[in-house]
Amino acid sequence: MTQKIVVIGMLGTTLDQGGSQQRWDRWRPTVALGQHPDLLINRLDLLYSEAHKRLADTVAEDLGVVAPETSVVRHNFEVVNPWDFEEVYAALYDFARSYPFDPEKEEYFVHITTGTHVIQICLFLLIESRHIPAKLIQTGPSPKREGNPAGTYGIIDLDLSRYDKLAERFKQQTRRDLSFLKSGIETRNIAFNSMIERIEEVSAESVDPILLTGPTGAGKSRLARLIYELRKQRRLVRGNFVEVNCATLRGDAAMSTLFGHKKGAFTGAITDRNGLLRQADGGVLFLDEVGELGSDEQAMLLRAIEAKRFYPLGSDEESGSDFQLICGSNRPLEQMAAEGKFREDLLARVNIWTFRLPGLAQRPEDIEPNLDYELDRHAERSGKQARFNREARELFLSLATSPEALWHGNFRDLSAGVMRMGTLARGGRITAEIVKEEWRRLQGGWQDVPERELLLKGRTNVAMHDDAALLRDLLGTRYAELDLFDRPQLACVIRACRETRSLSEAGRVLFAESRKKKARPNDADRLRKYLASFGLDWESVR
């Protein structure tokens, strides 16, 4: 059985007008629907308001002349303000819900040419969501030289290629933005890439504060600047990127640096100073190591975030600054707040979007692409191209991804190591001997750091107070059955499993000392049995 063709359209209160001399010699979009010999419409459902009933009658009459096979069904459609998105969408949604769609017998099209832009957008959204099971039909006038009142028409199916091409353009832009946030580095770590995807979404849709946490050298400052640059590209900010390390701020200098001061506010204040919050007006303020701020600065900052107003030091008049805030911290702010060292109300304001950057030791698969990135950076800084020979490159990657690679300074360690190796590379060639010398230097720097501190700060990047959340997420109600003694140990084991590539590697990390006392240790079996005692296995903890 052949389906009937049904078009749903809004009366064009301007375009569908036509005086007695213009009814047949000018393009009128609704009437023109019936003037195409290859578009045979069985029924037109015409939506109109009571104020334009006469025009609706005229259009129906004219359609009966040009397309007698088309029946016109008029629907009264009333909205107070056709430019009010909420009102229009609600009215069209109610129309769609009450319409007796029968896709087996009828094929539906929605005429998208007439109506206000708001009506057109709402019709598009209802079709895209399949509340209206239709394709779009778009009409237009012919070129003036042709003078054909029928004009042109085109069919757009949102399920097919045109929409896919539009969607692909958005995907391509998203991929470019993600690459930008990663400095063009083709990172491979799944968790890190997922985090960057979410940061890209947040950067595009929200101007609320962002908190970047993670160990020293994990890349918080660089990522903050890239977020700013991405927002600037999208015209979400117009001002500058202003960065300050809060660990360097103390006393009056802290208040003056952040909020500015008036002349004579303290000894040495010989002129007025705007302060960094004023400099960041319209832009982004990045407060690195925000946990180092004093209590007075925290209180002032809270008001500046909430009210966009603050008092410069020594001033009776308020200043204003509309800035977007990004904070960085390598300290557990939640724990500091619980201990009274950081304001809970300030934490609530800066903790809206929190992203924890993993350390380099947690991303062994990303060491190779970052190595190439650092080699390119060294070439830019020094003007000297340096590359590994095959043996040296394999040796470095093997050492850099081994359990012995603690990477306490994270990317700062890697960057400094590449700089030193590139400097020593005669003829631009980094040899195995240079790699071995650099590795001894890196290990020497790591030896002074207590192993437990490295485990918490370098390899896991998660504070001990997060143990409960980690275990509850994995064990559910079984968490309550764990002894207090077992909880931190099990959490440590789970993190080691998640940060290594195999059961054997995790065992080597966890039992590094005791395995030295056995001739043929079976670390994997020992770890497997430990997990089994809690009803877990390698796959479940991964």
pLDDT in tens, the chain (542 residues): 578 999 999 999 888 887 655 667 788 999 999 999 899 999 999 999 999 999 999 999 999 999 999 999 999 999 989 888 889 999 999 999 999 999 889 999 999 999 889 999 999 989 888 889 999 999 998 876 556 788 899 888 765 455 556 556 667 777 888 888 888 889 999 889 999 999 999 988 888 999 999 998 899 999 999 999 999 888 888 999 999 999 888 766 788 889 988 887 777 777 888 889 999 999 999 999 999 998 889 999 999 999 999 988 888 888 999 999 999 999 889 989 998 999 999 999 999 999 999 999 999 999 999 999 999 999 999 988 999 999 999 999 999 998 889 898 999 999 999 999 999 998 899 999 999 999 999 988 887 554 444 444 434 444 444 677 778 778 877 877 888 888 888 988 988 888 787 888 888 888 877 766 766 678 888 898 999 898 888 888 87
CATH topology of domain 178-356: Rossmann fold (3.40.50)
- The strand ranges marked E within 149-257 are 152-156, 210-213, 241-245
**Residue among 497, 478, 500 nearest 489 (CA):** 497
**Residue among 437, 387, 392 nearest 417 (CA):** 437
Q: What is the pTM of this model?
A: 0.58
Query: Is there a contact between 5 and 153 (Cβ–Cβ < 8 Å)?
Result: no
- As a residue count, the chain comes to 542
Query: Is there a contact between 288 and 245 (Cβ–Cβ < 8 Å)?
Result: yes
Range(s) of the chain covered by CATH 3.40.50.10770: 4-159
d(CA 501, CA 165): 39
Hunting for tokens 């063709």 — which residue is that? Answer: 5
Range(s) of the chain covered by CATH 1.10.8.60: 361-449
Query: Is there a contact between 126 and 93 (Cβ–Cβ < 8 Å)?
Result: yes
User: What is the DSSP pairing of strand 106-111 with strand 135-140?
Assistant: parallel
Under 8 Å CB-to-CB from 174, ≥6 apart: which residues? 200
User: What is the DSSP pairing of strand 152-156 with strand 135-140?
Assistant: antiparallel
SS3 state of residue 72 = strand
Give the CA angle between residues 80, 83, 88 to the nearest 5°.
65
Query: What is the per-residue pLDDT for 460?
Result: 40
Selected from 1.10.8.60, 1.10.357.10, 1.20.120.340, 3.40.190.10, the CATH number assigned to the domain covering 361-449 reads 1.10.8.60
d(CA 159, CA 154): 15
d(CA 30, CA 57): 12
d(CA 254, CA 521): 55
- Domain 4-159: give its CATH code: 3.40.50.10770
> What is the DSSP code (8-state) at residue 245?
E
Distance of CA 430 to the CA centre of its chain: 38
Query: Is there a contact between 26 and 151 (Cβ–Cβ < 8 Å)?
Result: no
Range(s) of the chain covered by CATH 3.40.50.300: 178-356
